[in-house]
Amino acid sequence: MPQTAQQAAESVFTLFSPTFSPTALEEYGVEATADQRPLITREILSLNLFWAHHALLNVLSKVEGERVFDELCRYVRAAWETMLGLEPSALAGYFEEAAARRSLYDQIVQEGGSPIAVFTEAAAMAESDGTIQSDDRQKFLAFLIDLIPVEAIGETVEGLDLPHK
């Protein structure tokens, strides 16, 4: 049965939630201050959105992919405070920042980089901008590799059944 763009976005968004568990970072030994936690959440969200956008545009037409991605961004806005625990004021400018990250990550993938190369770049940026401590870079990288559901996002997107417009 065909899905709406909203249903498709919801099925992708549900894959994101395990990566935002506060205990998940602790299990990897990543220490974060109260000021760093929201920055880490935003970085994880940006990576999830990148892989979703990448999969949507590789599997669906550009129009369909962007339509589902727009709905996915609506889910993010709705979950910003409740599920993600982020301050409402931090939403301003976030999607522009995420788009800049997507552009950088797209370039890595276009040059033949694997998901690990993207995660390595993300961990390096997180370290350089103070999102994580230098000592936690490898732990954060392991966290990203293990918990960002790149394959599940791709499989979910491949299974979408959207009506053609």
To the nearest 5 percent, what fractions of the chain are helix, strand and coil?
Answer: 70, 0, 30
pLDDT at position 164 is 61
Q: Which residues contact 146 (CB under 8 A, 6 or more apart)?
A: 28
pLDDT at position 161 is 85
Coil/strand/helix, residue 148: coil
Coil/strand/helix, residue 120: helix
**pTM of the shown model:** 0.93
Count of helix runs (H) and strand runs (E) in the chain: 8, 0
Between CA 125 and CA 103 the distance in angstroms is 14
Between CA 47 and CA 29 the distance in angstroms is 20
pLDDT values of the chain reduced to their tens digit, one per residue, 165 residues: 568 999 999 999 999 876 667 678 888 998 888 888 899 999 999 999 999 999 999 999 999 999 999 999 999 999 999 888 899 999 999 999 999 999 999 999 999 999 999 999 999 999 999 999 999 999 999 999 999 999 999 999 999 888 765
DSSP symbols for 41-102:
HHHHHHHHHHHHHHHHHHHS-HHHHHHHHHHHHHHHHHHTTTTT---GGGGTTHHHHHHHHH
R_g of the chain, CA atoms, integer Å: 16
